[in-house]
Amino acid sequence: MNKLSDKVAIVTGAGSGLGKAIALMYAQHGCKLIATDINSDRLHKLSEEITSAGGTVKTIVADMAIAQDIDSMFQLAQNTYGTLDILVNNAGIMDNFDPVGDVEDAMWERVMNINLTGPFKAMRSAIKIMEQKGSGVIVNIASVGGVAGARAGAAYTSSKHALIGLTKNTGYMYAKKGIRCNVIAPGAMNTNIAESIDMQHLSPLVNERIMPGMALMSRASEPVEVANIALFLASEDASFVNGAVIVADGGWTAY
């Protein structure tokens, strides 16, 4: 059964990891995709995988810190498919685990722009389309760093807490408009997000205060395990799930 037949979705950060898993799963369920990423080679490979399996996808290189790139992905959706049903804000970066005393302005601004401001602008554009048609789904990807204080640095933790708050506000405010907005908070996952961490220059506080908690993880998830949740939230199976935070961390934050 195709749960997303003829739906149109934008998935950001779709070139690898969780974003790729979500894009592939949505395509398998009949969804027409706009897949964005900062890496054109990864997008090309994704496109080949989807089209070879009979799926429909258009790709666009987009940086969530650049407003024009965000506008361009919505223009592509409208020009290609004429509408939008689902927005998945997946693209994000880490912050070197820096505590607040060590966070430089450039790092703070970059993390906030990609993890929070970019998704906000994408949501604002999506809402305008969804409100007119009286339906739509937004799925944001936060982190257990958005529900706990010691899973990342100050900038990343703040950005993901804020994204969860933005999700709750949006889900509530537009509930009567036929729009649902939910957020997934994954734990550790086998993806390439660690590429944005400078592991050679971690603050001593990281080893003292954060790293001991890593031993409490049962394991890291595979992207497809979290993609299953993104499929559920985008489908009619989740018709009464709105403004919710779905934690998928193998029980890590239950301690």
Residue 157: count other Cβ atoms within 10 Å of its Cβ: 24
Instruction: Determine which one of 81, 156, 172, 174 is catalytic.
Output: 156
**What is the C-alpha to C-alpha distance for residues 21 and 143, in angstroms, rounded to an integer?**
17
Cα–Cα dist 95/28, whole Å: 33
Q: What are phi and psi of 96, to 5 degrees?
A: 65, 10
Residue with tokens 């018709």: 239
Half-sphere exposure of residue 182, counting CA atoms within 13 Å on the CB side? 22
172 noted as active-site residue: no
Residue 228 to residue 140: CA distance in whole angstroms: 14
Active site residues: 156
